[in-house]
Structure 1
Amino acid sequence: MENKFKVLIVDDHSVVRHGLALVLKRGCDIVSISHADNYEDLTIQLKENQDLLFLDISIPGGKNLKMVEDIRAEYPKLLIMMFSAYAEEHYALRYIHAGANGFLNKYSKDEEILTAVKSVINTGKFISDVVKEKIIQNTLHNLPINPLEKLSSREIEVAELLANGEGTIEISNKLNVQMNTVSTFKSRIFDKLGVNNVIKLVEILKIYKN
């Protein structure tokens, strides 16, 4: 790829798109920057021979991992940088495995963003220190990329009910188990996934549950 390149920023928040565009314009040699705020617009804009895609995980009409797989299949040479507020340690490896070239947190400093862009353009990938550490830990301890693989079938069932807003009493009645058993399952699920509330549990299920 030449030094000058075309960028497409996809996020449903205008302030994020324009803020990122300003950072890129100041530090990179760019031909053009296009914007999209939903998956339908994204597919239209990609037909304009984009070089680098900044893509938020959650966009209207998008299907998280599936949309990355679909984009990669149709545009094998496109550089895809996931740009998300979600924690890298929970999401980055899964998206890189799906076909993204890198994962960048929205709270990154300007210089970190520019370093990531230069890395993905020059080498075809960007791996942050957080993700590198995650890869090392997964390799050393033989941990799965998908954290849900750590859960038993029953724990998955309870996790989905919790994510759907079911309380301890409702889950106890639905699964025909004691309430203290449900509480035990909930504690195990939170511990295995490294979360401390249902909101974070919902985020993990949304990303990793096929």
Structure 2
Amino acid sequence: MNKKENNVNANLNILLVDDHFVVRKGIELIINSTFPNAVIHNAENYDEATEIVKTINIDLIVLDIIINGIENIKIMKELKSIQSTTKILIFSCYEEENYGLRYIKNGADGYLHKYCSETKIVDAINEVLSIGHFYSDDIKNKLDNKSKRKPVSNPIDTLSNREFEIAKMLVDGSGNLEIANKLKIQMSTVSTYKNRVFEKLDISNIIALSTFFRNNIN
């Protein structure tokens, strides 16, 4: 790995929260090579993460979106309620185009896709710790566009994170059984979320859902 001069010189406590050991280990190696003073803490679930944040002053949390089928917008807020100064960088396999702005609006300080380069990971950590946030060009444009527009209520914003996730999977062509297997939940639970989405968006089928997403996600 190539070492890169960074802007953060103080001792750091960084918490990696992901249910995949290989992912945590990879990020740890990158951080150790670039931030030699950092102390890395690991958690494979939200209970472990919460206990660590309760006992240690954490500068940065690198957080996956979904761990063991549990959505984490609520968890982000709980972790920040314990330590309000803790920064949270989302590190996810979910596309930023669909999820990035949603998470930032709900308290994340940055969003990275897991397929990004080592350089981008280092840059993101540097920016979150030095200036308080990391926004890609796409996120910056979306935030700028939203600030210029008059506030308009977007029904998609009424969806919970899990409702949004299942709706996106339906739009992408997944069936109830496939979604249930992927998220490790019951098919009846998928149906319940699907019905909630249809009710909130005032639609009745997948075609209408696809059209709604195409017209309302930007």
Same structural fold, with TM-score higher than 0.5 when normalized by the shorter chain: yes
- Superposed, 1:38-57 pairs within 5 Å as 38-46=45-53, 47-57=55-65
- Superposed, 1:173-188 pairs within 5 Å as 182=205, 184-188=207-211
Match of 1:65 in 2: 73
| Aligned: 1:189 with 2:212 | yes
Aligned residues: 177
Match of 2:97 in 1: 89
Match of 2:185 in 1: none
Match of 2:180 in 1: none
Partners of 1:91 and 1:103 lie apart in 2 by 9
Query: Can you give the 5+ residue segments of structure 1 that lack an aligned partner in the other structure?
Result: 176-180, 195-210
* Identity fraction in percent: 33
Q: Shift of the alpha carbon at 1:187?
A: 4.4
Per the normalisation by structure 1, the TM-score is: 0.70
- Output one character per residue of 1:146-180: Cα deviation in whole Å (capped at 9) or x when no partner: 671599xxxx9xx69x688399xxx9xxx9xxxxx
DSSP-derived class of the 2:19 partner:
coil
Match of 1:6 in 2: 13
The residue type equivalent to 2:51 in the other structure is: I
- Output one character per residue of 1:36-63: Cα deviation in whole Å (capped at 9) or x when no partner: 1111111112122221110001013743
Indicate if the aligned counterparts of 2:109 and 2:134 stay in contact, CA closer than 8 A.
yes
DSSP-derived class of the 2:67 partner:
coil
The residue type equivalent to 2:126 in the other structure is: K
Per the normalisation by structure 2, the TM-score is: 0.68
The residue type equivalent to 1:19 in the other structure is: G
Q: Shift of the alpha carbon at 1:188?
A: 2.1
Match of 1:118 in 2: 126
- Output one character per residue of 1:110-160: Cα deviation in whole Å (capped at 9) or x when no partner: 111111111111111111112112223434555769671599xxxx9xx69
Aligned CA RMSD, in angstroms, stands at: 3.4
Indicate if the aligned counterparts of 1:10 and 1:55 stay in contact, CA closer than 8 A.
yes
Distance 1:144 1:62, change over 3 A: farther
Query: Can you give the 5+ residue segments of structure 2 that lack an aligned partner in the other structure?
Result: 1-7, 177-189
Match of 2:88 in 1: 80
